[in-house]
Structure 1
Amino acid sequence: LLDGCSGCIAGTVAASRRVAGTRRVELEIGGERQRVEIELPVDHPAAQKSRVAFRPGRWKLFPAA
C-alpha cells in the first residue's frame, strides 16, 4: 500500500472480511464505484469508508456479474 503515489489505484473501503491469515478488502473505485478486491495483512488499519491506494503486483480479472 502506498501513500500519495502516482499511478496507483485508489478507492474507498466498502467491505472487509478475514480469510485465513489475511484480510480481503473490497474497494469502490472510479465514478461508477466499480469494486476491486485486495488482500491486506490482518493488522492493517483499513476501516470502513477509509481511502486506500495500491499498486498491483499481480492480479486476476473476472467478468462483471
Structure 2
Amino acid sequence: VELVDECNGCIAGTVAASRRVAGTRRVELEIGGERQRVEIELPVDHPAAQKSRVAFRPRRWKLFPAA
C-alpha cells in the first residue's frame, strides 16, 4: 500500500486491530459508516496505534466474500 497524508482518492480508516506477522504488521481498519473491515500490511516500525487513523491507496488487492 501507499500511505498518504492527504486523502484525495484514498481509503481511510480507524485501526481496529494489529498483529505482527514475520517482518510486517497486519492492521485491520474500520472504514465507512458501516465500519467494514479491510486488512493492510505495514512495516513493523509503523506507529499505527489502536483507534488511530490510517489513509492509504492500494497498489494491489484481493477481495474475499463476507462471512
After superposing on structure 2, the runs of 4+ consecutive aligned residues of structure 1 that deviate more than 2 Å are: none
Gaps of 5+ in 2: none
TM-score, structure 2 normalization: 0.96
**How far 1:59 sits from its partner (Å)?**
0.2
**How far 1:29 sits from its partner (Å)?**
0.1
Q: For the residues of structure 2 that align with 1:53 and 1:63, how far apart are their CA atoms?
A: 23
**How far 1:34 sits from its partner (Å)?**
0.1
Residues 10-37 of structure 1 deviation map (CA, whole Å, 9 limit, x = unaligned): 0000000000000000000000000000
Look up the match of 1:59.
Answer: 61
**How far 1:7 sits from its partner (Å)?**
0.2
**How far 1:44 sits from its partner (Å)?**
0.2
**How far 1:5 sits from its partner (Å)?**
2.9
**How far 1:53 sits from its partner (Å)?**
0.2
Q: For the residues of structure 2 that align with 1:64 and 1:19, how far apart are their CA atoms?
A: 23
How many equivalent pairs are there? 65
Gaps of 5+ in 1: none
1:26 to 25, 28, 39: 28
TM-score, structure 1 normalization: 0.98
